[in-house]
Amino acid sequence: MTNYKDLGLVNTRDMFAKAVKGGYAIPAYNFNNLEQLQAIIQACVETKSPVILQVSSGARKYANSNLLRNMARGAVEYAHELGYDIPVVLHLDHGDSFELCKDCIESGFSSVMIDGSHLSYDENVALTKNVCEYAHQYDVTVEGELGVLAGVEDDVSSEVSHYTMPEEVEDFVKKTGVDSLAISIGTSHGRTKFTPEQCTKNADGVLIPPPLRFDILEEIEKRIPGFPIVLHGSSSVPIEYVKMIEQYGGSLPNSVGIPEEQLRKAAKSAVCKINIDSDGRLAMTAAIRKVLSEKPDEFDPRKYLGPARDELKKLYSHKNANVLGSAGQA
């Protein structure tokens, strides 16, 4: 067994307490490869932001658990090399079984999510409690989920969303012993977070999504004051990246995300972790398509993955400073 502390990682407990008190959210960036990880660490060191490195079960299969563990160790050392030691969490995103969470804990993860939101309430409680009891033996923090997000992300998919029921949260937190809670207030996975019918259009024809259900968030805060809340499916789907991808041969119709001003509002509340995956995918894809379109004879991966990494770094620095409020908090 590898303990995360031996890798230089931290869990989310102190990180979340400071974020709730300080009115900002910790960035939780998904990564699958070296360039994504470099961009995350570079951006967070330069903005002096704590960070959660997120790995989905699909990413874990793609990248290999042994490589991921050592990439996380390398991320901590890389931050030190760049001149500023930031708190780094390695987190399992959307774990769907006790066995997967256990395996991640034993391979050096400092935080895991157990997503039992597709189960009945009682089954979700039982599964989450089981994971918490095992994880807490090793001081690993656990994120649970109440409510279901629509959309598709790796192995997680749902055609419909179900808002979190505020009347359930206090009981769920008490019975499970969970350290943080992911809720559903209108965010969703993927780049098409809403159907065109759910949106309005501005003068330029850009889709404008319906507002998040801050009334649900406020009611949850009243019932479990100060408890760490998490938002999944919170990419903004920047229109400039969508247009760039389409300019260079891609097709991403009806792309729409969560407006950044709504995420900033959420970050000032008890929402202390905001998950961002699709935005990074879009930035990286846009940069790669641009290079390969402008230089069709290019075949050195460094020549297109390098610009993609630079675009990711720019995006993440912006998120930390202007959306999440995490810059300067490490």
Where in the sequence numbering do the catalytic residues fall?
93
Q: How many helices (H) and strands (E) does the chain have?
A: 12, 12
Please name the residues in contact with 122: beta carbons below 8 A apart, sequence gap of 6 or more: none
Please name the residues in contact with 192: beta carbons below 8 A apart, sequence gap of 6 or more: 151, 254, 255, 256
Are the CB atoms for 198 and 176 separated by under 8 Å?
A: no
| C-alpha triplet 291, 311, 207: angle, nearest 5° | 95
Are the CB atoms for 115 and 136 separated by under 8 Å?
A: no
Q: Which one-letter DSSP state was computed for residue 179?
A: S
Are the CB atoms for 40 and 314 separated by under 8 Å?
A: no
- C-alpha 89/C-alpha 139 separation (Å) is 13
Q: What are 313's two structure tokens?
A: 């770094």
- C-alpha 259/C-alpha 237 separation (Å) is 9
Please name the residues in contact with 52: beta carbons below 8 A apart, sequence gap of 6 or more: 12, 15, 26, 27, 28, 29, 89, 91, 111, 273
